[in-house]
Amino acid sequence: MTEAPDPAAGPATDAPPSGADAPGRPTCVCGYDRHHLMVSAEPKYGGWRGFWVIFMGVSAVPLRVDYRCRVCQQVFDSTDDPGALNRTM
């Protein structure tokens, strides 16, 4: 006989935790972390990379990605990790 799932354990999802569920992750004042729907990843290019992206439509790897909340407009986290930068292209 199988046991019923414990409702206090919360829903079983594969989504990354956000806000108060993820201690240690940077959040905006609204409580959203970088994986939340209301957070946008903004790639930052430098020098000629920006020129090629803006004027020529060429894909380039950004130098840094900033995470901005769409509600409070706060930039609360950034990364220069090559794995994360390649995912933004």
Query: In the prediction, which pLDDT does 15 show?
Result: 45
Query: In the prediction, which pLDDT does 75 show?
Result: 95
How far apart CA 32 and CA 28 sit, in angstroms, is: 6
pLDDT digits 0-9 by tens, 11-63? 444 444 444 455 678 999 999 999 999 999 998 887 766 676 666 666 777 88
Q: Taking the model in full, what pTM does it have?
A: 0.63
36-48 core/surface letters (b: 16 or more CB in 10 A; e: else):
beebebebebeee
Enumerate residues 6+ apart whose C-beta is below 8 A from 54: none
Query: In the prediction, which pLDDT does 13 show?
Result: 42
How far apart CA 50 and CA 23 sit, in angstroms, is: 35
Contact between 65 and 83 (Cβ < 8 Å): no
Show me where the domains of the chain are located: 28-87
Positive or negative CA dihedral for 23, 24, 30, 33? negative
Strand partners, 79: 65
Band of residue 89 on the pLDDT scale cut at 50, 70, 90:
low
Q: Where are the alpha helices (DSSP H) in 1-89?
A: 48-51, 82-87
